[in-house]
């Protein structure tokens, strides 16, 4: 069956519906949803129901678009306070750790196969990074609570190590196609990608926050669309200048997610749903692209590479890169075990296919095999291994993610009416600019004998009466501080 404009929406919607149903029930049987999405795509593909899809360029385009949403959603849900203590660990894991993993696996595969050293290193580079889609999906859907800020380390690493794997993939692909390429040019490429990606990512994050808060669109539903456009501008402009777009998108989202901006709740909820949609679309597409019959003859090589990656290359990269940091070995072993490979390596494996190198089909199928076995072996055992290594937290002390914290507001038990004098310093400021505490809200605003429902863009005028709700009366001290007013005595009201 060939995909046409007449049937693509029908077939796509059916596959999407089946994937959602499969994802809802999969964890009853301990199977990660990502494998179900891949499986449905493979069943519907050439060797299954016969849907013909053999276009690596389209698959790569869908992969890049999907990864933008997945990384951006992960960045929005990343709390700077939680990752700041592990920033050094995350950076080292996402650079040196990825390099060691790529080189060690490449050398091993060169030894056991008929690949050249550069072709083997290309394979190692493609699967060298942990997959953000897999890690975010599995950690959050399983609600894993981990000690020692391990979850922050793992999510920071998975969100930031794709750029290193991308640079290595492009570099070794260039060496396969042109062995005379100098290592100095590869070093310059790496520095250019990382430095420009980091600078432009943070710069666009700052500009995006200003744009969201300053542009009055009139409709709440347009603000998520505005942010989507800013996300793609960040990626494409950074890529155009020679920086790493994936790193820029992730850092842009981390910056925005830790700032106050209007309609934040709406945007966070929308991006959470979009990230799931993009994961499903991405894995379905990659499932359609692969032909299981072509993988069977490569099962031996694929299994050997996968087991070596899981039990040797990944631990080697983690243990060596973590030498400067004090931590117990069981923490290192758990970081090693959460070296999930998923959609990102499969997307990167389309680059050799498009370049047309001789071993490209073999590389793609082996990478697909590695990703599937990684999610099956590691993804299904994360909770058990966490308990075994004693790095799991009891459920009752599990920390909430920034999204959970933002959406699950606690009950407000204190209410006060606050009059704003005509000469107050906050006159003319927007509510968003006040720095209002997280545990209090302006529920209503009385102006000219009319009650208004304020939002972040509402300006404070002299004579306004603010109806403020807080969790306790003790929390109101910060409210009066940001409003530049003296704190009254609430003893009688309590």
Q: Tokens 């640079």: give the residue.
A: 167
Q: Which of 65-74, 141-150, 168-177, 279-288 has the lowest mean pLDDT?
A: 141-150
Residue 46: which residues within 8 A CB-CB, separation 6 or more? 52, 53, 54, 291
**In this predicted structure, what is the pLDDT of residue 31?**
52
DSSP state, 224?
H
Contact 124, 102 (CB under 8 A): yes
Beta partners for 459? 430
For the chain, give the longest Cα–Cα distance.
83
For residues 132 and 252, which has the higher predicted lDDT (pLDDT)? 252
State mean pLDDT over 150-157.
81
**In this predicted structure, what is the pLDDT of residue 276?**
77
Residue 299: which residues within 8 A CB-CB, separation 6 or more? 369
**In this predicted structure, what is the pLDDT of residue 240?**
94
For residues 474 and 274, which has the higher predicted lDDT (pLDDT)? 274
Residue pLDDT, tens place only, 94-110 = 999 999 999 999 999 99
Give yes or no for residue 91 having a pLDDT over 70: yes
For the chain, what is the mean pLDDT? 81
**In this predicted structure, what is the pLDDT of residue 96?**
93
Class of domain 409-482: alpha beta
Beta partners for 451? 446
In this prediction, what percent of the chain has a pLDDT beyond 90? 24
Ordered DSSP codes for 390-431:
T-BPPGGGPPPPHHHHHHSPPPP-EEEEEE--TT-TTTT-BG
Q: How far apart (Å, rounded) are the C-alpha atoms in residues 109 and 105?
A: 6
In this prediction, what percent of the chain has a pLDDT beyond 70? 82
Residue pLDDT, tens place only, 368-380 = 889 888 888 887 7
Give yes or no for residue 17 having a pLDDT over 70: yes
Give yes or no for residue 409 having a pLDDT over 50: no
Residue 123: pLDDT band by 50, 70, 90 thresholds? Answer: very high
Which of 268, 264, 129, 249 has its CA nearest to residue 197? 249
**In this predicted structure, what is the pLDDT of residue 362?**
92
CATH fold for domain 8-402: Na+/H+ antiporter like fold (1.20.1530)
Paired tokens of 489:
């005595």
State mean pLDDT over 434-453.
79
Give yes or no for residue 158 having a pLDDT over 60: yes
**In this predicted structure, what is the pLDDT of residue 115?**
93
Contact 1, 22 (CB under 8 A): no
Give yes or no for residue 317 having a pLDDT over 50: yes
**In this predicted structure, what is the pLDDT of residue 29?**
45
Residue 138: pLDDT band by 50, 70, 90 thresholds? Answer: low
Give yes or no for residue 407 having a pLDDT over 60: no
Paired tokens of 197:
């990606």
Based on the number of CB atoms within 10 Å of its own CB, is 29 exposed (0-12), middle (13-18) or buried (19 or more)? exposed
Contact 303, 295 (CB under 8 A): no
State mean pLDDT over 254-271.
83
Which of 376, 355, 353 has its CA nearest to residue 290? 353
State mean pLDDT over 145-153.
74
Q: What is the enclosing helix (H) or strand (E) of 469?
A: strand 465-470
Paired tokens of 343:
């959609």
Half-sphere exposure in the Cβ direction for 467 (13 Å, CA): 12
State mean pLDDT over 303-329.
92
Ordered DSSP codes for 235-299:
HHHHHHTTS-HHHHHHHHHHHHHTS--TTHHHHHHHHHHHHHHHHHHHHHHHHHH--HHHHGGGH
Which of 146, 105, 206, 192 has its CA nearest to residue 390? 146
Contact 110, 129 (CB under 8 A): no
**In this predicted structure, what is the pLDDT of residue 374?**
86
Beta partners for 440? 470
DSSP state, 185?
H
Residue 187: pLDDT band by 50, 70, 90 thresholds? Answer: confident
3-state helix, strand, coil in the chain (%, to 5): 65, 5, 30
Give yes or no for residue 23 having a pLDDT over 60: no
Residue 157: pLDDT band by 50, 70, 90 thresholds? Answer: confident
Q: Which of 48-57, 97-106, 132-141, 297-306 has the lowest mean pLDDT?
A: 132-141
**In this predicted structure, what is the pLDDT of residue 25?**
53
Angle CA 120–126–130, to nearest 5: 130
Residue pLDDT, tens place only, 362-406 = 999 899 889 888 888 887 788 788 888 888 766 544 555 544 544
Contact 431, 458 (CB under 8 A): yes
Which of 130, 166, 116 has its CA nearest to residue 359? 116
Q: How far apart (Å, rounded) are the C-alpha atoms in residues 176 and 174?
A: 5
Angle at which helices 132-141 and 264-289 cross, to 10°: 120
**In this predicted structure, what is the pLDDT of residue 45?**
67
**In this predicted structure, what is the pLDDT of residue 292?**
76
Give yes or no for residue 166 having a pLDDT over 80: yes
State mean pLDDT over 135-147.
63
CATH 3.30.70.1450 in the chain: give the residue spans. Answer: 409-482
Q: What is the enclosing helix (H) or strand (E) of 109?
A: helix 98-112
DSSP state, 473?
G
**In this predicted structure, what is the pLDDT of residue 307?**
94
CATH 1.20.1530.20 in the chain: give the residue spans. Answer: 8-402
């Amino acid at each position: 069956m060939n995909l046409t404009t007449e049937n693509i929406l029908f077939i796509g919607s059916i596959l999407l519906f089946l994937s959602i149903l499969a994802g809802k029930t999969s964890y009853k049987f301990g199977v990660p949803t990502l494998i179900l999405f891949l499986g449905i795509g493979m069943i519907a593909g050439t060797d299954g129901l016969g849907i013909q899809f053999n276009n690596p360029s389209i698959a790569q385009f869908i992969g890049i678009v999907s990864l933008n949403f997945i990384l951006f959603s992960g960045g929005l849900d990343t709390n700077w306070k939680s990752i700041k203590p592990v920033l050094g660990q995350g950076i080292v894991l996402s650079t040196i750790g990825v390099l060691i993993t790529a080189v060690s696996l490449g050398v091993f595969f060169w030894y056991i196969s008929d690949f050249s050293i550069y072709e083997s290193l290309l394979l190692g580079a493609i699967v060298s990074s942990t997959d953000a889609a897999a890690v975010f999906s599995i950690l959050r859907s399983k609600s894993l609570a981990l000690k020692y800020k391990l979850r922050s380390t793992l999510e920071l690493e998975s969100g930031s190590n794709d750029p290193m794997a991308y640079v290595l993939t492009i570099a070794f692909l260039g060496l396969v196609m042109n062995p005379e390429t100098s290592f100095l040019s590869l070093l310059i490429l790496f520095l250019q990608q990382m430095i420009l990606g980091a600078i432009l990512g943070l710069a666009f994050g700052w500009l995006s926050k200003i744009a969201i808060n300053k542009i009055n669109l009139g409709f709440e539903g347009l603000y998520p669309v505005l942010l989507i456009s800013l996300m793609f501008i960040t990626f494409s402009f950074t890529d155009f200048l020679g920086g790493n777009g994936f790193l820029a998108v992730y850092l842009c989202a981390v910056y925005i997610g830790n700032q106050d901006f209007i309609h934040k709740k709406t945007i966070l909820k929308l991006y959470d749903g979009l990230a799931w949609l993009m994961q499903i679309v991405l894995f379905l597409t990659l499932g359609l692209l692969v032909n299981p019959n072509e993988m069977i003859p490569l099962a031996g090589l694929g299994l050997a590479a996968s087991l070596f990656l899981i039990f040797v290359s990944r631990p080697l990269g983690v243990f060596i890169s973590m030498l400067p940091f004090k931590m117990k070995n069981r923490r290192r072993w758990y970081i090693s075990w959460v070296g999930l490979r998923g959609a990102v390596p499969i997307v990167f494996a389309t680059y050799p296919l498009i370049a047309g190198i001789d071993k490209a089909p073999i590389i793609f199928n082996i990478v697909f095999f590695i990703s599937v076995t990684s999610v099956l072996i590691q993804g299904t055992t994360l909770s058990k291994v966490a308990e075994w290594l004693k790095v799991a937290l009891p459920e009752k002390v599990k920390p909430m993610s920034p999204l959970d914290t933002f959406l699950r507001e606690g009950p407000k038990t204190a209410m006060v009416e606050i009059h704003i004098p005509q000469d107050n310093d906050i006159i003319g400021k927007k509510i968003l600019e006040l720095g209002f505490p997280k545990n209090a809200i302006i529920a209503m605003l009385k102006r000219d004998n009319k009650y208004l429902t304020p939002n972040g863009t509402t300006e404070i005028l002299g004579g306004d009466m603010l109806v403020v709700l807080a969790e306790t009366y003790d929390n109101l001290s910060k409210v009066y501080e940001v409003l530049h007013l003296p704190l009254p005595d609430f003893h009688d009201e309590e």
